[in-house]
Amino acid sequence: MFDSRFFIKYLIILLLAVGGSYFIPPMQSPDENQHIAKAYLVAQGDWLLTTAPGKMSGGYVDDGLRDFIQGHMQLSGRPDFRLSPQEKQRLRSLAWSGAENRSFMEIPGTGFYLPLIYLPHAMAIKTGELAQLSIHHTYYLTRIFVMAIAIALMLIAFSLHRPGTLALGILLLPMGVFQLLSPTLDGITTSLSLLAVSLFLAFQSKPQRPATFYLLACLLILIATTRIHLAPLLLLLFIIGWQQKNRKYLGLGLFASCFTLFWIVFSIKTTVDNRIPRDISSLEALRYYVIHPVDFAQVLFNTVTNSEMMYFYFQSFIGKLGWLDTNLTLWHYPVFGTCLILFALLNAFAPFNKANHAIARSSLAATALLSVLAIFTALLISWTPHPATIVHGIQGRYFIVPFLLLAYALHGLFDVRSRAFALAGQLLLCAFFAFSAFSLLSTLQSRYSIF
C-alpha cells in the first residue's frame, strides 16, 4: 500500500540532502577517488582488480574520468588552495574518452570490498555513459542516486523499528551527514546496518517469515564483506537460529560466516597494497598477535590511553571533514559532545519496547563491542608497521555503526513513559539538527567557497 507520509518524509530529506551535497566538491571524502574509479570498473564488468607489473592493484579507467578525478584531487589536503574558474570549467566540460582510451589506475583500497556494494554507483555511471552525459553530470547523477538509495534504506529501517534519540543524534552529526552526502560507501553501509538491526529486532517481537531471515542474511553478508569490522553482526543470524531452534537458520548463518571469511582471505591474498611499507603481510601479522596475545593487549592499551589519539577519534567522530583536513569551529566539538550525553540519557529513560528484551540488548551490545575490537585488530594488522606500539589509521567515523548498535541496545533501558521526556527529546533533536546543519555547511563554505 502506498504510504504518502513515508514518501513526503523521503522527498523532504532527499531534497535537503541534494541541496547540502552541492557544498561539497567532487572527490573530497576520504578515498572517494578510488571508490568512483572502482564503480566505473564494475560498470564496465571488471568486478575484480588486476595488478600491473610494478604497481599496486587497480584497473583500466577512462582517461576522461581519470582527469576529472585528478583535477578535483588538487583540493585534497590543501585547505588554502582553490580551483581557478578556468579549471572548474574545464573539469565540468570533460567527456568520456571511450573504451579505447583507458589507462591503469591504482586503487588498492577498494580490493577488500565485495564488488556488489558498488552496484548503485555503477548503475548511475553506466546510465550517464549511455546517455552521453558529461563526466561532471554523471558524477552528480551518481551522487544523488547513491544518496537516494541510502536514505530510502534508512527510512525503511526506521519504519520497521523506531530509533531512539541517541541513534538519531549520531546520524545527524556533521561527520555522518558529510559521508552520506558523498558517493563513497559509508552512507550505504550505515543504512544497510540500520536495516539489518531493524530486521533482527523484528524477530525479537514476533515470528517472521523465512524470507525475512534470508534477506537479513544477504544484508549481513554484504555488510561484513564491505566493512570487515562489522563482521560480528553475523552473530545475529546464529542468535535468531538458536532462539527459534531452526537448523536451516543456523546453517545459513554458518554459510554466511564461511563466505565472509573466504572473501576476507581471498581479498588479502589477491590485492597488492603497498601504501604502508611493511615487512610482513596482514595474515602474518594476524598470526603473530594470535600467538602473542599479551603484545596485542599492550598495543591496544597504549592506543586507548593515548590522549592525542582519543581526541582525534572524538573529533573525527563528530566531524573532521574532507580528507581529514577540515575541522569544524573549535567550540562546536564540546557542544556536540554535550548533546550526545543528553541524548544518551533521554535514550535510556524512554518507553520500553518489547523487542528490546535482555537477549536482544545483550546481543546488540556484544556485537558493538566486538566491532570496536575488530576495528583495532583490522588496522593493526593492515595499516600499522610491525612491530607496533600503537594502532595507526583509525578514524572516528569507523565507530559510527558500533555506537549506533549500542544506542539501539540501550534504548528504553529504564522504562520511563513521560511526555516531558519525549517532548524534550524532540525539541533537542530539532535544535541539534539546525546546529549540525549550520556547523557543517558553514565549515564547507569556508573550506571550499562554493557560493
What average pLDDT values come out for the chain (451 residues) when binned by 10 residues?
81 96 95 97 96 92 97 92 93 92 95 97 97 97 98 96 95 97 96 98 91 97 97 97 95 98 94 86 92 96 96 97 95 97 92 78 97 96 91 96 97 82 89 97 92 58
Write down the mean pLDDT value for the chain.
94
Q: In this structure, are residues 141 and 127 in contact, taking their beta carbons and an 8 Å threshold?
A: yes
Q: In this structure, are residues 115 and 185 in contact, taking their beta carbons and an 8 Å threshold?
A: no
The set of cell numbers assigned to 383 is 595499516
Q: What is the pLDDT of residue 423?
A: 87
* Residue entry with cell 572516528: 396
Q: In this structure, are residues 175 and 396 in contact, taking their beta carbons and an 8 Å threshold?
A: yes
Q: 3-class DSSP state for residue 196?
A: helix
The set of cell numbers assigned to 220 is 549481513
Listed residue (110, 56, 112, 37) closest to 272, CA to CA: 56
Q: What is the pLDDT of residue 2?
A: 57
Report CA-CA distances (Å) from 88 to 75, 81, 94, 103, 284.
12, 13, 10, 23, 46
Residue 67 makes CB contacts below 8 A (sequence gap 6+) with 91, 94
pLDDT tens per residue across span 113-166: 999 999 999 999 999 999 999 999 999 999 999 999 999 999 999 999 999 999
Q: What is the pLDDT of residue 420?
A: 81
Report CA-CA distances (Å) from 443 to 16, 19, 368, 451.
17, 15, 31, 13
Distance, in Å, from the CA atom of 108 to the CA atom of 271, rounded to the nearest integer, reads 7
Task: Give long-range contacts, CB 8 A cutoff, 24+ apart: 71-78.
Answer: 72/25, 72/26, 72/27, 72/28, 73/27, 73/33, 75/25, 75/27, 75/28, 75/322, 75/448, 76/27, 76/28, 76/322, 76/323, 76/325, 77/323, 77/325, 78/325
Q: What is the pLDDT of residue 451?
A: 58
Q: What is the pLDDT of residue 275?
A: 86
* Residue entry with cell 567550540: 331
Distance, in Å, from the CA atom of 139 to the CA atom of 110, rounded to the nearest integer, reads 18
Phi-psi region of 98 (alpha: psi -120 to 50; beta: other; left: phi over 0): left
Distance, in Å, from the CA atom of 413 to the CA atom of 426, rounded to the nearest integer, reads 19
CA-based R_g, the chain, Å: 22
The set of cell numbers assigned to 73 is 584531487
